Chain A
């Protein structure tokens, strides 16, 4: 079985760079695809434009979604995903700096599958990536229909 892709929606360039480093340190082989705003996330998931190329941009088995994004917020992207019949069960993990109760509440209310707070340092980030891999990629059973390329 081929390793499935994870889509990371993040506008902070440094966070993306550090995530790629942590991805490597944690030894995760699954490809990490990155888009940098909410609109791009929607285009990716609806295979618009260049994202029509499925070899280059495979359908992800998990979305790591920042909340505060340019153009379309993370919550808007989440809401949109839950309205698309083809991908409404796609697992979405929020990855935000915020642990504000109101952000957590809204994210879960809109259908987030889990919520992670960005660790403040690199060790924490590597630990987090390891636990995401262990749980979401190894342990967790993904929805059966997920997700035709």
Chain B
């Protein structure tokens, strides 16, 4: 009996323990579940935050992309706008030179012509002073016309598309020497020393350069001196330096840089517009070359222009 009671009590105790244990487990499980739920919620939140962040990033990226596209479009627009403006400017320059050519020179022809008619028809009725005034009017008109022509040449050198090709400098110079009496005996002695190589140039522009340099060389000599011009070439790496040396009056050091400037004239007793060397420098620069001068007063001048040597492959063909 007593053992039965004992076993029952034991059983109850066991049940009680079991229940307590289950309770504990349940509580633990509840706590655990709660914890898990919390974790899940936290994870969810973090995920949400991440998604939001990613969305934000994507949005920012998209915006940046749009911005970039806008910038590119803007840049392209700017480039197009500037190109258009430049073309407009070139067009205006063209119109300007057209106007100068056609209209500005007409009054000068009239000045020239009528002062001449006056001199021829009424010269006897005028005294020396009056005739001198007339001569000055005519000379000035003539000079103005030369200035206009040289300015036009300069603007042409500025705006024209200079197509580059291989140019046989020697052949070009020899044909120039043959064509102009002022480069020939007895007026002048022009000698080409050695062989001149071919260079990369625009033939018309190079002709203009040589013409200006040679005309200067024979013009700026002391009175009574026969001009002697030596033309030679010197290879300098990829470049060819072409020399035009004269026996002229020479240029003092302080003027040597100036002489390439527009309208610069050192000695007004020699006729000229002061644009010739400006044209040479601009033309040579546009052909990718350089110009310069070595000189001493009374010792002549040695002008040079340097251009790329001709392309060999093309030269053989």
Bound together: yes
Interface residue ranges, A against B (CB under 8 Å) = 12, 14-15, 17-18, 21, 67-68, 96-100, 103, 118, 120-123, 125
Known: A97-B105, A120-B108. A14 touches B114 (CB 8 A): yes
User: Which of B98, B113, B114 is A125 in contact with, Cβ under 8 Å?
Assistant: B113
Whether B103 lies near A68 (C-beta < 8 A) is yes
Q: Which residue in chain A gives the minimum CB-CB distance to B115?
A: A122
In the complex, which residues of chain B have a beta carbon less than 8 angstroms from the beta carbon of A123? Answer: 116
B142 contact set on A, CB distance < 8 A: 120-121
A-B contacts, 25 listed (Cβ < 8 Å): A12-B110, A14-B106, A14-B107, A14-B110, A14-B114, A15-B106, A18-B109, A18-B110, A18-B113, A18-B117, A21-B113, A68-B103, A97-B105, A97-B109, A98-B98, A98-B101, A98-B102, A99-B101, A100-B101, A100-B152, A120-B112, A121-B112, A121-B116, A122-B113, A122-B116
B98 contacts A100, CB within 8 Å? yes
- Which residues on the B side are within 8 Å of A121 (C-beta)? 109, 112-113, 116, 138, 142
**Chain B at the A interface: SS class:** helix
Q: Tell me, yes or no, whether B145 is within 8 Å of chain A by CB.
A: yes
A14 to chain B: which residues have CB within 8 Å?
A: 106-107, 109-110, 113-114
How far is A125 from B106 in the complex, measured between Cα atoms in Å? 13
Number of B residues whose C-beta is below 8 Å from A? 21
Quote the shortest CB–CB distance from A9 to chain B (angstroms): 14
Contact A120 B102 (CB under 8 A): no
Least Cβ–Cβ distance between A67 and chain B, in angstroms = 7
Q: How far is the CA of A32 from the CA of B169 in the complex (A)?
A: 47
* Chain B 258-284 interface 0/1 with A at a Cβ cutoff of 8 Å (1 = within): 000000000000000000000000000
User: Quick one: closest B residue to A99, CB to CB?
Assistant: B101
Q: Of A100, A120, A125, which one neighbours B105 at CB under 8 angstroms?
A: A120
Within 8 A of A (CB), among B102-152: 102-103, 105-110, 112-114, 116-117, 138, 142, 145, 152
Tell me, yes or no, whether B97 is within 8 Å of chain A by CB: yes
Given contacts A120-B108, A120-B145, contact A68 B113 (CB under 8 A): no
Give the docked Cα–Cα distance between A133 and B98 (Å): 29
Please state if A118 and B109 are interface contacts (CB–CB under 8 Å): yes
A67 and B102 within 8 A (CB): yes
